[in-house]
Amino acid sequence: MNTPYTPGIAAARLDRDTLSENFDDLHAPLKSHEAMVAADRCYFCHDAPCVTACPTDIDIPLFIRQIATGTAEAAAKTIFDMNILGGMCARVCPTEDLCEQACVRELAEGKPVEIGRLQRFATDTVMAKGVMPYTRAPASGHKVAVVGAGPAGLACAHRLAMLGHDVTVYDARPKAGGLNEYGIAAYKSTDDFAAREVEWLCSIGGIEIKNNMALGAELKIDDLVGCFPAVFLAVGLGGVNALSVYGDDKGGVEDAVSFIDVLRQAENLTTLPVGRNVVVIGGGMTAVDAAVQSKLLGADNVTIAYRRGRDAMSASRYEQDLAASHGVKLLFNVMPKAIHGNGSAAEVELEYTATKDGKLSSTGEAIRLPADQVFRAIGQTLTADAGLKLEGRKIAVTAAGRTSRAQVWAGGDCAAGGNDLTVTAVAEGRDAAMDIHDVLMGGK
Amino acid sequence: MADLTTDFLGIKSPNPFWLASAPPTDKEYNVRRAFEAGWGGVVWKTLGMEGPPVVNVNGPRYGVIYGKDRTVLGINNIELITDRDLHTNLEEIKRVKADYPDRAIIVSLMVPCEEQAWKDILPMVEDTGADGIELNFGCPHGMSERGMGAAVGQVPEYIEMVTRWCKQYYSKPVIVKLTPNITDVRKPAAAAKRGGADAVSLINTINSITSVNLDTMSPEPSIDGKGTHGGYCGPAVKPIAMSMVSEIARAPETAGLPISGIGGVTTWRDAAEYITLGCGNVQVCTAAMTYGFKIVQEMISGLSQWMDEKGHTSIQDFMGQAIPNTTDWQYLNLNYVAKAVINQDDCISCGRCYAACEDTSHQAISMSPDRVFEVIDAECVACNLCVDVCPVEDCITMVAMEPGSVDPRTGKTVQKEYANWTTHPNNPSATAAE
C-alpha cells in the first residue's frame, strides 16, 4: 500500500475505511432535538434580512418556525415553493456569505441561526418519505425543451411541469444533475444525493430527461427552436481556462473540474491517484473543493496558490478556513510562471504579485514548490453559445432570462449576470419558467 | 388538503384564527394588514359610548415576562378601550367589512350598565354590517374602576341583564367575553347563557404585576414612579384559559354553548388544543404583537398539516374530542400504574432528574459514580417530574405496567379493572361497589 509520502502521483495513499470516513458528510444532519434548539434561536424577523440575502427568496423565518412547531413537512413546502433544489442548496450554499451572514444573530453574537442545516432538516424529512408535495396543473398542450440538467435546467423543468407543460431535458452527460452530480465536493453530497434529488424532482411527472445530447453536437439550436415553442438553455460552462504558462501541457497538470468529476463518479476511492505534492491554481470554490479532496485522498502537501489577496478570493472565508483546517496551505498574491519537470510536473514556479492602480503585476520575486500534480481552477468558459448575443463571455439575458433570440431563454452559469452559485441558477431557472409560461399562455 | 373554513354562530371565516379585541385591531390600517396576512377574522378593539373618548397613559402600557433568550412568555397591559372617536371606528368597520366580506368582523363593546347606553350604541354597530358583537366584561384595569369590564364580568346578574339587552336591541350573534379574575368561571358563563348569549369567549386578561423595579420600587410598567396591575396574557396564561374553557364545556348548564378560545394561542398546536376542548375558533393577540401578523401563516400550515395527518377534513371533525376525557380527579383510574423509564442511549447525564427526584420527590432515581441514572421501580410513584425537567425530549418516558404484573413499590398486582376514588376503601364516603 502507498502512503501520503509515496512519491509522484499514486492511488491508495490511505486505506478504504479512512477514505470513506474522510468523504463522509461535511456536516452531519441535525437530529430532531438539535433542530428544535436551532430553530428556537430564530427571531422571526420582519422583512427578514436572511430572505433578502437568499437568491431564491425562501421565506426563512416561516420555515424555521414551522420546524419549531413540529411541522417539518410544512417547512419543506415553504422552501420548495421557492427553491425546488432546496435539499442540495442546504448542502452547498455558501450560507456564510448569504442568509447566515445576514442573520441578525450573526450581527449580535457572531453566531447566526443555522439556516442551512435547518433547511436540510426540513427538506430531508420530506425527501426521505419520497413525497413530492406538488401536483401538475392540467396539461397545457405545450412542450418545452430544456438544455442542461443542472440546477437551472432542473428548476426550470420542474416549474414548467408543475404548470402543466411537458418538458424534455437534454443533457450532454450520462447522468443528470450537472454540477450537483459532477462538480462539487463529494462530502457535500453524500449517499448519491444529487441523483436521488433528480429522481425525486422528476417524480412530479411530465419531465423526460435525454442524456448524452450535447448542444452543438447532437443538438442544434435551430432544430430545437423548430420543434419547441420555447427553449431554455442551461448548459453551464463547458470549458476550462488555460494557465497559459510554460509547462501547462506537462503530465500531472489537470483541470480541477475533471479531477472533481472523476472523484464524484468513482466507485472505489482507493483507485484514485493523487499527487504527493499538489498545487491548485485559483481562488474559487472549485479550487477549494479540489484542494480539500486531494488532502482527503491522502496527498501529503496541498497548496492553493491565488494571485490576489485573501479578501479577493471568491471562495468564502468559511471555505478558506475549511481548507486550512484540513491542512491545505493557502498562498496569496502569487501567480504561476512556469511548470517544471521532465515530461511530468515536478515543480511549479510562482511569482509574487502586487496590485498597482488596480492592475495586477509581478514583483519579480519567484518561489518554487514541489508539485507532482497541478490543478487549474482559474475559471470556466462558455463553449456552446448557440450563436446568441453575449455579454462579456456569457449569454446576454433579460431579468426574465430572455436571450437575443425569440423562443430562447437562458439561465445558470452560461447566462450573464449571475454569480455561479447553485442557488442563483435555481432562481434563474424558476423565473425563466414563469416567463416561458406567461408567453406560452399568451400573457405577454 | 384539510378545509379550515370555520362556521362560528353562522359567521363564516376562512380559518379559525381571529385576532382578539386588542391593540392589533384598533383601526382600519391594522385590520386591513391583518386580513392581507391571512387572518380569518378580527374582534375590533372595544368601542365605548359616544362622547369624549377615553384617554390612555402616556408612558409604558406593557410589561413582560421572558423565558430564556428573551422569548416572550407573557405580556401585561394597562391600556384602556379604544381612545379613538366612536364614529371614526364605526365608519372604518363598515368600510373594511365591505372590502372583506369573507372575513369575520366582530365589534367589541363596553358601555355603562344602563339600558339606554346599549340601546344607543347597538343600532350604530348594526349599521356597520359587522357580523356580531362581543361584550367586553373582562378588562381588569381602569375601566373596571368605572363599573365596566371586569366589574360587570364578576357579577353574573349584570352579565345576564346586559346580555339580554343586547339580544333585544341587536339582531346578530352576541358573544360574551369572560374575565378569569373570578373563582368559578361557570357562573358567569351560565349567566351569559341565561341572558341569551350565542357564545362566550375566554379568557380576558389576568390581574398581574409582571415585575417590580428594584431601583425605583415601582411595579412595571411604571408611570412616573407608580404602577398598577395590568391584564396578563400570552403563552403563560394558556393553561389557565384552557382549564376554564374545559369547565364551561363540561358543566351541564353550559355544555354545548359555543366557545371562542382565547389565551396564549401562539402556534397551530395551541389552537388545535383549544378546539379539542370545545372551542369553535380561537382568538389571538400576544403572538401577533410579538411576531407580527405573518405568524398566522404557520398556524394555518401547521393546523392543516396536522389535520391531514389525522384524517380530519374539517374543524368539526375534532372539535370537543378532548371533552369526554376531561374529568374530575375522583374519576381517575387508581388502578393505573406507570413507572419512569430512562433511555440510556439518549441520556446526556445532566442529573436534573436525579436532583428533582432525590431532593423533591421520592428518591426513585439512582446515580452511579460514572453518572449513570436509573429508575428504582420500588420507589417510583410515576409522578412525571423527571420527565418534566429532562432537557432531552422522550429520553425519560412513563410506561404503564401490564395488568397482572406486580408493582415493586406496593407489592400489589396491577389490576386490569378501572377503579377510582369513589369506590376506594380509603375513602370514608366510598359507595360500595356492589
CATH number at residue A53: 1.10.1060.10
A351 & A272 share domain: yes
Which of A32, A46, A69 faces B298 most closely, judged by CB atoms? A69
Task: Round to whole Å and give the CA distance between A320 and A310.
Answer: 9
- Residue A6 belongs to some domain of the structure: no
Which set of grid coordinates corresponds to residue A404?
437575443
Give A126 to chain B, closest Cα distance, Å.
13
Q: Which residues of B are catalytic?
A: 139
Report the C-alpha gap between B270 and B258 in whole angstroms. Answer: 18
> Which of B68, B268, B295, B298 is the best substitution to test chain A (most A C-beta atoms within 10 A)?
B298
CB atoms A71 and B292 under 8 Å: no
In sequence order, the β-bridge partners of residue A361 are A354
| CB spacing of B295 vs A65 below 8 angstroms | yes
B295·A44 Cβ contact <8 A: yes
| Contact between B69 and A62 using a beta-carbon 8 Å cutoff | no
> Exposure of B343 by Cβ count < 10 A (0-12 exposed, 13-18 middle, 19+ buried)?
exposed
Question: Chain-wide mean pLDDT for chain A?
Answer: 95
Of A428, A439, A431, whose CA–CA distance to A152 is shortest? Answer: A428
Quote the CA–CA distance of A200 and A188 in Å, as a whole number.
Answer: 18
Q: Which amino acid is at B124?
A: M
Q: Which residues pair with B47 in a beta bridge?
A: B109
Q: Does the beta-carbon distance from A69 to B268 stay under 8 Å?
A: yes
User: pLDDT tens digits for B324-380?
Assistant: 999 999 999 999 999 999 999 999 999 999 999 999 999 999 999 999 999 999 999
Please tell me whether residues A369 and A424 are part of one structural domain: no
A117 and A201 share a domain? no
- Give the Cα separation of A391 and A370 in Å (integer): 39
Q: Are B306 and A44 within 8 A, CB to CB?
A: no
Stretch B158-167: mean pLDDT, rounded? Answer: 97
**Helix then strand then coil, % of chain A, to nearest 5:** 40, 20, 40
- Phi and psi at residue B88, to the nearest 5°: -60, -45
Q: List B44's β-bridge partners, or say none.
A: B107
Gap from B104 CA to chain A (nearest CA, Å): 25
> Distance between CA atoms of A238 and A231, rounded to whole angstroms?
19
Same domain, yes or no: A107 and A159: no
Q: Out of A32, A40, A71, name the one closest to residue B302 (CB).
A: A71
Using a CB-CB cut-off of 8 Å, the residues of chain B touching A61 are: 294
CA atoms within 13 A on the CB side of B385: 18
Q: With beta carbons under 8 A apart, name residues in chain B contacting A62.
A: 294, 297-298
Given phi > 0 = left and psi -120 to 50 = alpha, else beta, which region is A143? beta
Looking at the structure of chain A, the number of domains it has is: 3
A69 neighbourhood in chain B, CB within 8 Å: 267-269, 298, 302
Cα distances from A34 to residues A67, A123, B391, B432, in angstroms, run: 11, 16, 11, 53
Report yes or no: A276 and A8 within 8 Å, Cβ to Cβ: yes
Q: How far off is chain B from A33, nearest CA to CA, in Å?
A: 7
Searching chain B, which residue's CA lies closest to the CA of residue A78?
B301
Chain A closest-CA separation from residue B329 CA (Å): 31
Contact B295 A70 (CB under 8 A): no
Minimal CA–CA distance to A420: which of A42, A92, A115, A101?
A: A92
Predicted local distance difference test score (pLDDT) of residue A444: 53
Inter-chain contact A69–B267, Cβ cutoff 8 Å?
Answer: yes
In DSSP notation, A301-335 reads: EEEEE-SS-GGG-SS-HHHHHHHHHTTPEEE-SEE
Q: How far apart are CA B217 and CA A186, in angstroms?
A: 62
The SS3 call for residue B147 is coil
Mean pLDDT of all residues in B168-188: 97
List of chain B residues whose C-beta atoms are within 8 Å of the C-beta of residue A71: 268, 298, 301-302, 305-306
Q: Kindly state whether residues A363 and A398 are assigned to the same domain.
A: no
B302 with A66: Cβ contact below 8 A = yes
Residue B383, min C-alpha distance to chain A (Å) = 24
CB contact under 8 A, B302 and A32: no
Which residues from chain A sit within 8 angstroms of residue B294, using beta carbons?
Answer: 44, 46, 61-62
Residue A354 lies in a domain: yes
Which chain B residue has its CA at the smallest distance from A77's CA? B301
Are residues A228 and A244 both part of a single domain? no
Q: Name the domain boundary from A78, A102, A128.
A: A128
Nearest-Cα residue of chain A relative to residue B291: A44
Q: Is A8 part of any domain?
A: no
d(CA A261, CA A180): 10
Cβ–Cβ of A36/B393 closer than 8 Å?
Answer: yes
Query: Is it the case that residue B434 has pLDDT exceeding 70?
Result: no
State how far the Cα of A269 lies from the Cα of A299, in Å rounded to an integer. 13
- Shared-domain flag, residues A281 and A369: yes
pLDDT of residue B141: 82
DSSP category for residue B413 = B
Phi and psi torsions of A27, nearest 5°: -120, 125
Other Cβ atoms less than 10 A from the Cβ of A362: the count is 15
Q: What does the alpha-carbon distance between residue A281 and residue A375 come to, in Å, rounded to a whole number?
A: 6
Contacts of A32 in chain B (CB under 8 A): 393
H/E stretch holding A266? none
Instruction: Provide, as residue numbers in chain A, all residues whose Cβ is less than 8 Å from the Cβ of B69.
Output: 40-41
Task: Pick the residue from chain B with its C-alpha nearest to A63.
Answer: B298
Integer Cα distance of B283 and B236 in angstroms: 15
Residue after which a domain boundary falls, among A347, A376, A405 = A376
CA dist B390 and B14 (Å) reads: 39
Q: Do A71 and B294 touch (CB under 8 A)?
A: no
pLDDT at B431 over 70: no
Instruction: Assess whether A263 and A364 both reside in one domain.
Output: yes
Contact A74 B302 (CB under 8 A): yes
Mean pLDDT confidence for B20-24: 97
Q: Which three cell numbers stand for residue B42?
A: 378580527
Cα–Cα dist A357/B7, whole Å: 72
Among B291, B302, B392, whose Cβ lies nearest the Cβ of A33? B392
* pLDDT confidence tier of residue B430, bands split at 50, 70 and 90: confident
Give the mutation candidate from A43, A64, A71 for the B interface (greatest B CB count, under 10 A).
A71
A293 inside domain: yes
| Cα A184 from Cα A26, distance rounded (Å) | 12
Three-state DSSP state, B311: coil
Q: Are A410 and A234 in contact (CB under 8 A)?
A: yes
Show residues of chain B in contact with A70, CB under 8 Å: 269, 302
Dihedral-angle region of residue B266 (phi above 0 means left; psi in -120 to 50 means alpha; beta otherwise): alpha
Say what the pTM is: 0.92
Dist. CA A34–CA A31, nearest whole Å: 5
Positive or negative torsion for Cα A324, A327, A332, A335: negative
The residue of chain A with its CA nearest to that of B266 is A69
Sites in chain A below the pLDDT cut of 70: 443-444
Residue A281: which H helix or E strand, with range? strand A277-282
Helix (H, G, I), strand (E, B) or coil at B51: coil
Alpha-carbon distance of A234 to A238, in angstroms, equals: 11
Which residues of chain A lie closer than 8 angstroms to B304, CB-CB? 74
Nearest-neighbour CA in chain B from A79: distance (Å): 13
**Numbered residues of chain A with Cβ closer than 8 Å to any chain B Cβ:** 32-33, 36, 40-41, 44, 46, 61-62, 65-66, 69-71, 73-74, 77-78
Nearest chain B Cα distance for residue A25, angstroms: 22
- The answer to whether residues A39 and A109 belong to one domain is yes
Strands A143-147 and A166-170: parallel
A27 is a domain residue: no
Give the pLDDT mean for B407-420: 97
State the amino acid at position B120 in one-letter form. D
With cell 435551430, the residue in question is A222
SS3 per-residue string spanning B312-325: CCEHHHCCCCCCCC
Q: Do A32 and B298 touch (CB under 8 A)?
A: no
C-alpha distances out from residue B214 to A137, A174, A175, A425, B69, Å? 64, 73, 69, 57, 22
> What residues does A182 pair with on adjacent strands?
none
Alpha-carbon distance of B275 to B336, in angstroms, equals 28
The DSSP H or E segment spanning A81 is: helix A72-82
* One domain, residues A123 and A201: no
Nearest to A74 among B71, B291, B305 (CB): B305
The phi and psi torsions of A41 (rounded to 5 degrees) equal -80, -15
- Distance CA(A322)–CA(B98), nearest Å, equals 59
DSSP H or E segment with residue A199: helix A193-202
Which residues on B lie below 8 Å from A36 (Cβ)?
393
**Which chain B residues are closer than 8 Å to A41 by Cβ?**
69
Q: CB pairs below 8 Å between A and B: how many?
A: 43
Mark out chain B residues that contact chain A at CB-CB < 8 A. Answer: 69, 71, 267-269, 291-292, 294-295, 297-298, 301-302, 304-306, 392-393
Mean pLDDT of B282-300: 98
Residue range(s) defining the domain that contains residue A284:
240-376
Of B329, B340, B336, B332, which Cα lies nearest the Cα of B382? B340
Interatomic CA distance for residues A303 and A275, integer angstroms: 12
d(CA B2, CA B218): 50
Nearest CA distance, A205 vs chain B (angstrom): 21
Beta strand B206-208 with B211-213 is unpaired
- Position B41 pLDDT exceeds 80: yes
Residue A228 lies in a domain: yes
Report pLDDT for B146. 86
What are the φ and ψ backbone dihedral angles of B205, each rounded to 5 degrees?
-75, 160
Do A250 and A366 have their domain in common?
yes
What is the C-alpha to C-alpha distance for residues A350 and A371, in angstroms, rounded to an integer? Answer: 11
The pLDDT score that the predictor gives to residue B303 is 98
Q: Which residue of A has its CA nearest to B395?
A: A33
B262 CB-near residues (< 8 Å, 6+ apart): B20, B177, B201, B202, B203, B204, B241, B282, B283, B284, B285
pLDDT of residue B290: 97
CATH code assigned at A277: 3.50.50.60
Given a contact cutoff of 8 angstroms between Cβ atoms, the answer to whether A409 and A430 are in contact is: no
Count of alpha carbons within 13 angstroms of residue B388, beta-carbon side: 8
CB contact set of B393 (below 8 Å; sequence gap of 6+) = A32, A33, A36
A21 lies in some domain:
no
* Beta-bridge partner residues of A330: A304
Rounded to the nearest angstrom, the minimum Cα separation between B291 and chain A is 6
Q: If phi over 0 gives left and psi between -120 and 50 gives alpha, with beta otherwise, what is residue A364?
A: left
Sign of CA dihedral A108, A109, A110, A115: negative
Evaluate whether B226 touches B202 at the Cβ level (below 8 Å): no
- Following DSSP, what letter does each residue of B236-251 receive, concatenated? GGHHHHHHHHHHHHHS
Cβ-Cβ contacts under 8 Å, B291 against chain A: 44
Q: Which of these three, A83, A101, A128, is where a domain ends? A: A128
**Same structural domain, A278 and A224:** no
Residue partners of A341: CB distance under 8 A and separation at least 6 = A247, A250, A251, A252, A347
Q: Is residue A17 part of a domain?
A: no
Q: Which residues lie closer than 8 Å to A298 by C-beta, 6 or more apart?
A: A2, A3, A4, A13, A14, A19, A274
